[in-house]
Amino acid sequence: MGHSLGVPGGELEVSRSLVIPAAELSERFSRSSGPGGQGVNTADSRVELSFDVARSPSIPEHLRARILDRLANRLVDGVLTIAASEFRAQLANREAARERLAALLRQAAAPPPPQRRPTKPSRGARERRLESKKRRSATKQTRRRPDLS
């Protein structure tokens, strides 16, 4: 199975190597704000999805440090919480929350970009740069008011 779409409550596939079992995700439901007509006071359509990044056995140790570091400002006691209330249907909100959690973890687990090796400009490039500076300088020189001293 490629994606966990359509089955809220199943495991969450973040990447090929990172799959979070349903048991590690906890969902809380509450009432959404905003319009809703007659059903507004009965439907608990807002979803809060929580996942304990710090204590999850499904995250490999080498990834855990990276994820904790990158999501540091979003975690409360090592727990990542995502709220979804943009849809009126609870199922749609559960799906949205799961998608967002997966996307966040995918981003946080991505390997850091390779370090840039500093290079020096080539001799030709330096000469071209100086040449164009001289040309520019000469152009501006000719535009100046003649010196009347």
User: What digits encode the pLDDT tens for the residues 42-74?
Assistant: 677 788 888 887 787 777 777 878 888 887 788
Question: Would you give the DSSP letter of residue 110?
Answer: S
In the chain, the largest separation of any two C-alpha atoms, in whole Å, equals 90
Higher per-residue pLDDT: 39 or 138? 138
Residues in the chain: 149
Paired tokens of 7: 């089955």
Can you tell me the distance from the alpha carbon of 83 to that of 47, in angstroms, rounded to the nearest whole number?
6
The amino acid at residue 111 is: P
Can you tell me the distance from the alpha carbon of 54 to that of 106, in angstroms, rounded to the nearest whole number?
16
